[in-house]
Chains A and B, each alone.
Chain A
Amino acid sequence: MIASNCKDSVEHLLEYLDGELNADLRAKLEAHLSGCSPCEDFWKSYSATPGLCRKALIAEMPREVATKLTDFLRLEMNKSK
């Protein structure tokens, strides 16, 4: 598919971010992005999304979860001793 409009461009952003678009499609996509500021902004926000999510979704493990895990494993390991 030719990246001729915004919709086509958006469809190719994952492959573009992965560096997996072939030269022809990449050139067409880049031509569209440089001439379409909504898409250029969209691209920037799309490529920033995984990093922002990674940062936001770092989970803290509650202390009691760790304690329960240790107790559980000790009990189970004792069973199989």
Chain B
Amino acid sequence: MSLDAESRKVHGAAPLIPSEDTELLTRAQRGDVAAFEGLVERHRARVFGLALRMLNSADDAAEVLQESFLSAYRNLQNFRGDAQFGSWVYRIAANHALMRLRHRKVVNQVESPLDGPQFNERGSLVDEVSDFRDAEGEAMDKELREAIEAGAARLGDEYREVFVLKDLEGLSYEEIAELTGATVPAVKSRLHRARLSLRAAIDHFYAERS
């Protein structure tokens, strides 16, 4: 395994990098550093995004990014070819991000209350709801983006992690339960609370604007 500039030039040349993860993986498992770097290049942005949204800190996300790919590199020989490299590395990243959240929690335990709908004593909705369904097809408004970012940042860690893993990353309830150590009903309940809170943040944005 060589990392000198000359070999990088040879192996790193664009035409030699196959587009498929599986080919890169096979080469990386044989010790081809350029192939591993190719895998990193293909998946780093999504891993960074996951870590950033879960941890809500660019510095922590950059560290989780490094830890995750180093861990993937060290465990490359244990990786079975029947799974997707992408899902495997996202799982590693989710684990690292969760560990960091758990650690941070000890230091920084402030949970803000979640926003949700208000009901009267008969259980009827008392809020007026803005119509924002049409916005789905439109280009994302900068201020709306900021409102959603702020809403996601306000969620408590246990709500945000479930929301990120399900609604942003598309993991199954079972996968999230396994990663977080929560039960499936608890995962669903947290996701529901997180969505209600984010829905309220978006609703508030539209109500202010109109």
Interface of A toward B, CB cutoff 8 Å? 4-8, 10-11, 13-15, 36, 38-39, 41-42, 44-62, 65-66, 68-70, 72-74, 76-78, 80-81
Interface of B toward A, CB cutoff 8 Å? 1-3, 33, 36-37, 40, 44-45, 48-49, 52-53, 58, 61-62, 65-66, 69-70, 73-74, 117, 119, 122-125, 127-133, 135-136, 140, 144-145, 148-149, 152, 163, 167-168, 188, 191-192, 195-196, 198-199, 202-203
Please state if B203 and A76 are interface contacts (CB–CB under 8 Å). no
User: For residue A46, which residue of chain B has the nearest CB?
Assistant: B199
- With the chains together, A4 CA to B123 CA distance in Å? 9
Identify B129's interface contact among A7, A41, A66, CB under 8 A. A41
Residues of B within 8 A of A39 (CB): 125
Residues of A within 8 A of B1 (CB): 77, 81
Residues of B within 8 A of A61 (CB): 44-45, 48-49
Which of A8, A57, A66, A77: most chain B Cβ within 10 A?
A57
Identify B70's interface contact among A11, A45, A76, CB under 8 A. A76
3 tightest CB-CB pairs across the interface, nearest first? Answer: A5-B123, A7-B123, A59-B49
User: For residue B130, which residue of chain A has the nearest CB?
Assistant: A45
- With the chains together, A52 CA to B58 CA distance in Å? 22
- For chains A and B in complex, what number of residue pairs have CB atoms within 8 angstroms? 141
Residues of B within 8 A of A54 (CB): 167-168
- With the chains together, A49 CA to B152 CA distance in Å? 12
User: For residue A50, which residue of chain B has the nearest CB?
Assistant: B167
Please state if B66 and A52 are interface contacts (CB–CB under 8 Å). no
Please state if B73 and A57 are interface contacts (CB–CB under 8 Å). no
- For this complex, 7 residue pairs linking A to B, each with C-beta atoms less than 8 Å apart, are A6-B123, A11-B192, A14-B191, A49-B202, A65-B61, A73-B73, A74-B3
Please state if B53 and A65 are interface contacts (CB–CB under 8 Å). no
Which of A15, A50, A76: most chain B Cβ within 10 A?
A50
Please state if A69 and B145 are interface contacts (CB–CB under 8 Å). no
